[in-house]
Amino acid sequence: KPIVAIVGRPNVGKSTLFNQIGKKRVSIVEDFPGVTRDRIYMDAEWLNHQFTMIDTGGIELEGQDSLLASMRIQAELAIEEADVIVFLTDGRAGITNTDDEIARILRNTRKPVILAVNKIDTPKQEMDVYEFYNLGLGDPTPIGASNALNLGDLLDRVVESFKDVEAIEEDPDEIHIAVIGRPNVGKSSLVNAMLGQDRVIVSNIPGTTRDAIDTHFTKDNIKYTLIDTAGMRRKARIDEPIERYSVIRSLRAVDRSDVVLMVISAPDGVTEQDKKIAGYAHESGKGCIIVVNKWDLIEKDSKTPLKFTDDIRDELGFLQYAPIIYISALTKQRIHRVPELVKYVAEQQNMRIKTSVLNELIRDALSVNPPPSHKGKPLKIYFMTQADVHPPKFIIFVNDPELMHFSYVRFIENKLRESFGFEGTPLRLIVKGRK
Ligand code: GDP
């Protein structure tokens, strides 16, 4: 999926535009914090083109005190990692110095940049738009984000510019792993430790994709691909201390992966940015393993693992299903377990349960905990069937979906996990009406 970044000063209307364009996902029950709060990415669709949008304004840039400095980084990030850039300006405010600076940076990229002028709500204001030719970024497209004015024109231009974004082909037999986490949590060290294990055969065929160089390896006859790790492997050697936490690169890796390794450093714990990426993996239906690294640095007694597990489960409430593994990339503690766990989670993602077995489960669930009736009308569950794998998707047929409370869906999901595991993979439960 192409990535479209929205760049612009604060208050030009980036979030408004973002929310207008983003279509809601077919939502399963999601009431956990961290999943929907503070979105910086969103899947969208226009004229049958799917893309991911990023609001670069929502990315936390640590230690940037001046607006100009953080705008520069925002623009550079977008250039580095997005396929198409939408530069949003404010038609009422006119061109500011900051806009000039952003434009100067954006003019230096060969990637498509689409200039949009927001807050043009009346025909009278259209004169204000001409000024924006001065930015040297071609035709400005006037829009009114809050009323969705002219959004179609803007999206036409965005979609038009996808022509040169190539499709990515993947080998379906390989398990694709994305290693995600903040700088210095030990991602490179983990990757190197994994590749350095006994019986691991690394066959590095240069990446077929434009910007990712993947590492292919085999262990116990299972083929794995580590996504975009070239940079990591190089980095660990020269020990470069600072790396920007590239959210966009992370999202792209998650998109291409089957299983995400969410790496956390034991002394530091879970951060907000980790939550956002993990939330994205969850919504995208990817498998997930929480890898707690630097376990050697923790003073432990018998209660330590439990305490860590509790804290992580608290912070990442929507990832209850993700196994947690405590490792040290430095001492190699439990490194050999990581590929095994990846393989296990990939199997769980592809597990299929027979309809007859599912209906037994529904019968049991109904007898243990009958659904409460709603507005005096009883909910009837007819049957459940598995419609898909990777992630597993179940359809529950009922008399009236309105009568199905989300807590009851959650209850059925828990029953599915109790009976079959599905460890490490999100589940999709869809309720359909059938008279
Ligand atoms: P990345 O930015 O996530 O790729 O992190 P690196 O792999 O470059 O590691 C950052 C720093 O943490 C380096 O100095 C590593 O030597 C150190 N480090 C990585 N893993 C461990 C670990 O398990 N234990 C300890 N004590 N240090 C580690």
Query: 185 C-alpha to center of ligand 1: Å?
Result: 6
- 355-433 maps to which CATH number? 3.30.300.20
Write the residue with the smallest CA distance to atom 15 of ligand 1.
186
Atom number in ligand 1 closest to CA 295: 23
Q: Quick one: tokens of 155? A: 């999206």
pLDDT at 378 over 50: yes
Percent of the chain with pLDDT over 90: 44
- Residues in contact with 181: Cβ distance below 8 Å, sequence separation at least 6, in sequence order: 187, 262, 263, 264, 265, 274, 291
Whether residue 264 is predicted with pLDDT greater than 50 in this model: the reply is yes
pLDDT tens string 79-127: 877 889 999 999 999 999 999 999 999 988 878 999 999 999 887 777 7
Which atom in ligand 1 lies closest to the alpha carbon of residue 235? 8
350 assigned ligand-binding residue: no
Question: Is pLDDT above 50 for 242?
Answer: no
Q: What ligand 1 atom has the least distance to the C-alpha of 243?
A: 2
Cα 231 to its chain centre, rounded Å, is 20
Separation of CA 244 and ligand 1 centre (Å): 15
Q: How confident is the model at residue 147 (pLDDT cuts 50, 70, 90)?
A: confident
- pLDDT over 90 (residue 163): no
**Domain edges within the chain:** 3-164, 175-349, 355-433
Dist CA 218 CA 431 (whole Å): 40
pLDDT number for residue 128: 79
Nearest atom of ligand 1 to the alpha carbon of 185: 3
256 alpha carbon to ligand 1 midpoint, in Å? 25
Q: What residue owns the CA closest to ligand 1's atom 19?
A: 186
Judged by DSSP in three states, 38 sits in coil
Q: CA dist 17 to 8, 88, 151, 155, Å? A: 11, 9, 9, 11
Residue 230, annotated as binding a ligand: yes
Looking at per-residue pLDDT, the higher value among 398 and 242 belongs to 398
Alpha-carbon gap, residue 37 to 161, rounded angstroms: 30
Pairwise pLDDT comparison (26 vs 75), residue with the higher score: 75
Contact 117, 145 (CB under 8 A): no
The answer regarding whether domain 3-164 maps to CATH 3.30.460.10 reads: no
What is the rounded distance in angstroms from the CA atom of residue 331 to the CA atom of residue 186?
12
Q: Is the pLDDT of residue 27 over 70?
A: no
Q: What percent of the chain has pLDDT over 70?
A: 85
User: Lowest-pLDDT range, 136-140, 155-159, 340-344?
Assistant: 136-140
Show the ligand 1 pocket: residues with CB < 6 angstroms: 181, 183-189, 232, 235-236, 243, 293-294, 296-297, 328-330
**How far is it, in rounded angstroms, from Cα 387 to Cα 242?**
45
How many angstroms separate the alpha carbon of residue 263 from the centre of ligand 1?
Answer: 11
Query: Which pTM does this prediction carry?
Result: 0.71
Tell whether 414 is in a known binding site: no
This model of the complex carries an ipTM of: 0.92
- Cα(200) to centroid(ligand 1), Å: 21
Average pLDDT, the chain: 84
Is 185 annotated to bind a ligand? Reply is yes
CATH number of 175-349: 3.40.50.300
Q: What is the pLDDT of residue 358?
A: 94
Tokens found for residue 118: 């927001």
CA dihedral of 292, 293, 297, 300, whole degrees rounded to 10? 30
Same fold, 175-349 and 355-433: no
Nearest CA to ligand 1 atom 6: 186
Q: Are 200 and 218 in contact (CB under 8 A)?
A: yes
Does 269 belong to an annotated binding site?
no
Neighbours of 62 (CB within 10 A): 11
Identify which has the larger pLDDT, 191 or 252: 191
**Residue 422's Cα: distance from chain center in Å?**
20
The burial of 187, by beta-carbon neighbours within 10 Å (0-12 exposed, 13-18 middle, 19 or more buried), is given as buried
**Ligand 1 probe mutation, 189, 227, 245, 300, most atoms within 8 A of CB:** 189
The residue whose CB lies within 8 Å of the most ligand 1 atoms, and thus the one to mutate among 180, 182, 184, is 184
User: Is the confidence at residue 31, as pLDDT, over 60?
Assistant: no
Cross-strand pairs, 43? 52
Is residue 428 over pLDDT 70? yes
pLDDT at 38: 47
